[in-house]
Amino acid sequence: MRTSDKEPSASPARSSADNPTCLAIKSPCAIALFLLVLAAGLAGDLASKHYAFKVLMNDPDLPQRVEALRAQHGPALPPQHVLAELHLHRQIIPGVQFTLSTNPGVVFGTPMPWPLVAAATIVAVAMVCVFFAVSSARARWTHAALALITAGAMGNLYDRLVVQTVLPGLEPIRHHVRDFIDCSQIGYKWIFNLADAYLVIGVAMLVLQWLWDGRRAAKARADATA
């Protein structure tokens, strides 16, 4: 019996993600990983903010403390400054405590108009999603990093657009990001949240991937010229 001269066709069970040229947007596995990390990260950020602010502001003496501060500093003291002066905190582990704070600006408290920050965040999220879509379907590490960055950006964007932090007798604090993780006892003076941590971790993962890819490319060039 004569055999065919043609190469056998690829198995239907073979995943398209095995193809190094396959884009992530065409890979169900890549999309699932991205969405899973994004959803988990976003849920963790928003839930942790809600928990910290709800628990630490559940103080029956809070109205009296707010009034005392207003009497001391005057009624013109902005609500976010009142919150800072209240020093609402709780020790969690050695070196780390929860301290309630809000941030109207960006990283390290740098001031910036909130509409500009919100617009820049939306553009950044769109760019990250495009970067994910055109990346290799097998770049799992990169997909997880991009999902963390997206979760961090969306978590803080939600605060700016939706959340109002209310102190008794004061106007709500609007368009601020809720911060509560305080590591000042170990030398880090800025209060932050999980979304901020996601952004730092995601960028660090991308840098590590870039360094690894550069090392592999250099090794391949060296092997080719050997």
Nearest to 175 by CA among 156, 190, 147, 192: 156
Token pair recorded at residue 37: 């990390």
Catalytic, 196? Answer: yes
Angle between helices 194-225 and 140-161 (to 10 degrees): 150
Q: Which of 5, 196, 213, 223 is catalytic?
A: 196
Nearest to 114 by CA among 46, 177, 50: 177
3-state secondary structure (DSSP) of residue 181:
strand
Q: Which of 179, 182, 213, 223 is catalytic?
A: 179
Catalytic, 18? Answer: no
Helix (H) or strand (E) holding 84: helix 79-86
CB 150 within 8 A of CB 214: no
Catalytic residue IDs: 179, 196
